[in-house]
Amino acid sequence: MNSPWAEYKVGFGDPSGNYWLGNDRLSQLTANNSYKLRFDLQQNGTGNWYYAEYSTFIVQSEADNYTLQVDGFSGNVSLDAFGQYHNGDKFSTFDRDNDRASTNCVALIGGGFWWRYCGGCRVNGARNTGRFDWRGLPGGWHLQLSRMWLQCK
């Protein structure tokens, strides 16, 4: 969703479908590193399912632009496209550009996320941009569906 910073801050959407928990809540929940993060990824075309898990997932406070700390990758995807390309990044939205690219990644891809140089995993990208993908999936990077969710350790 190409929503403004204020909406990503508090959360939005339908909990049974397209939903963002809220960056303030993510920061509060992950502050003591008691959750791991899991991505479920359905590949476009094949329908195959893949997953990636991270044993460390911490989102700093808004004062730090919700900087991401992620580590401890495991899963059946062939590349750590989240940790490798997004660890240490600040959260960006179309109205608050915190990425390191010369252009606003959200303007290019759509959807708020921890963008560095607009790449790696684009699980929050707008599908109509053709940039809804996870780098390194066997047989093609494009996604049909993605889910990010927290699990207690």
User: Across residues 116-143, what is the average pLDDT?
Assistant: 79
Query: To which H or E segment does residue 83 belong?
Result: helix 83-86
Tell me the per-residue pLDDT of 22-40, one tens digit each, with 9 for 90 and over.
Answer: 999 999 999 999 999 999 9
Query: Residues with Cβ < 8 Å from 108, sequence gap 6 or more?
Result: 118, 129, 131
* Res. 16 pLDDT band, cuts 50 70 90: confident
Query: What is residue 108's predicted lDDT score, i.e. its pLDDT?
Result: 81
Question: How is domain 5-152 classified at the CATH fold level?
Answer: Gamma Fibrinogen; Chain A, domain 1 (3.90.215)
For 92, half-sphere exposure in the C-beta direction (CA atoms, 13 angstrom radius) is 25
Tell me the per-residue pLDDT of 42-71, one tens digit each, with 9 for 90 and over.
Answer: 999 899 999 999 999 999 999 999 999 999
d(CA 110, CA 61): 23
* Res. 106 pLDDT band, cuts 50 70 90: confident
Which two tokens mark 65? Answer: 């632009």
Q: Could you tell me which of 91, 70, 92 has the C-alpha nearest to residue 82?
A: 70
Which two tokens mark 12? Answer: 């939005």
Query: What is residue 83's predicted lDDT score, i.e. its pLDDT?
Result: 93
